[in-house]
Every structure is written in structure tokens, then in C-alpha cells.
Amino acid sequence: MATPAIDPKAVAGRAAADLIPDGAVVGLGTGSTVHFVLLRIAERMRGEGLRILGVPTSLDTERKARELSIPLTTLDDIESIDVTVDGADEIDSRFDMTKGGGGALLREKVVASITKRQIAVVSANKLVERLGTTFPLPVEVVPFARGVVRRALLQLGAEATLRVRDGVAVRTDNGNEILDARFPDGIPDTSAMERAIDRIPGVVESGLFVGLAHVLVIGHPDGRVEV
């Protein structure tokens, strides 16, 4: 009988959820890897009585957390977050990341900004030497300004395309649009690029996460997990 294939996102997600301490306020990231984090949190709640208060970074995660009976709170009611577990589209050796493949970059960055211990959880194929080489950089923009931002990104060396699904511009949970910016040689100086993009009028947030992650959990296709 064939052995079932191991999903590196699943092993990483479970291992990351095991790092969450009892009683913590927990930022809940977004995406298919975080899906496994949520399942494992619910399992720990049932099995060992783990108590947490979750802060979801997207409507999708909020819905999934509610379905799993994970108690939630909002940023109006807390000042800081003990630990956040979130995925990434790319991560380099300094733990800088590109995020926003799922369009949740703004809420993810707000949550990361008040998090004491940010855990990035990825499958091994997300590890890169230079950001921007395997995944376009998502930039959340106010729809009115998309043309202005697209031209400004071109000045910064990136060809940006509007994210579209079923022929319609994708709207984020905040009612904005996403430009996916492709840098032909990747992004050599991530801090400088983050600042430059943030300065463009009409940009709400970029998917560059610089200096925000503290712990990296990597799932490998053979089932190994590195922390």
C-alpha cells in the first residue's frame, strides 16, 4: 500500500501551534499553512485544555476560527499580542518576508507590529536567498490611486499588475485592491524598498515584512520540522 504523502505545510503548522503557551493572546495569520495551525490549536483546546484568545488577521481566518470554537478578541480590546503564528510567501536568512499571497497583508502587518513573538511558519520551498525572486510583492492600494502607484512602482524597478479573479479586481478585507509587483532581479535592500513603497501616496501597505519575525518553523517534504 502506498504511504500517504506528507504535507510540509501540515507538519510545520502543527509544530508551530505546539509553541503557543497556555493563556496567550495569539495572532492568527492567514493562508493554507495557518489552516493547519488552527486545526492543531482546536485539537489542543480539546485534548489538553489549552486556553487562548485569538486575533484573526482576515475574515477567512475569523470564519475558520469561529467554526473551530477558538475564542476571539479584537484590537480594540488588547494592547499587545503574546505570540502570532503566520505564513509567508518567501522568507530569507534574516527572516525578512514577502507576504500577501492571500491578500491579508495589511491586517497581518498590523497584528505583527504589536506582537512580542512572531512565528513564521512555512514549507521549505518558501526559503529564498533574495526576496522577490520567486513571488511578486503584493502592494495594497486605494483603488483611486492604482495608476499612480503602478507608475511609481515602475520607477522603483517593478512591473506591477492588478490582482484579478474571475475577470474582476480582487478586493481585500479592507475594500482595497492589490498590485502584484515583479522585480526582475528581486529586492536587494528590503528596508529601503519598504520605505520607498510606503512613501507612495495611495499605498496602504506593502507585503514586505522586515525585522518582524523572531522564530521560523520550516516543514520539509520528508516530514522533518526545523525550528
| Residues binding ligand 5RP (CB under 6 A) | 29-33, 86-89, 99-105, 108
Angle at 173 between CA 209 and CA 94, to 5 degrees: 10
43 is catalytic: no
Pick the catalytic residue: 108, 140, 177, 205? 108
**CB-nearer residue toward ligand 5RP: 99 or 146:** 99
Q: Given the complex with ligand 5RP, which of 159 and 173 has the nearer CB atom?
A: 173
Q: Which is nearer to ligand 5RP, 68 or 148 (CB)?
A: 68
Cα Rg of the chain, angstroms: 18
Tell me how crowded residue 6 is: count the other CB atoms within 10 A of its CB: 14
Taking the least distance from each CB to ligand 5RP, the nearer of 9 and 44 is 9
Strand pairing of 81-86 and 115-123? Answer: parallel
In whole angstroms, the minimum distance from the beta carbon of 134 to ligand 5RP comes to 12
Q: Is 191 in a helix, a strand, or coil?
A: helix
Short-list 34, 117, 108, 113, CA closest to 79: 113
d(CA 38, CA 89): 19
Q: How many CB atoms lie within 10 A of CB 43?
A: 14
Cα distances from 156 to residues 41, 152, 194, in angstroms, run 41, 7, 11
Catalytic residues, which ones? Answer: 108
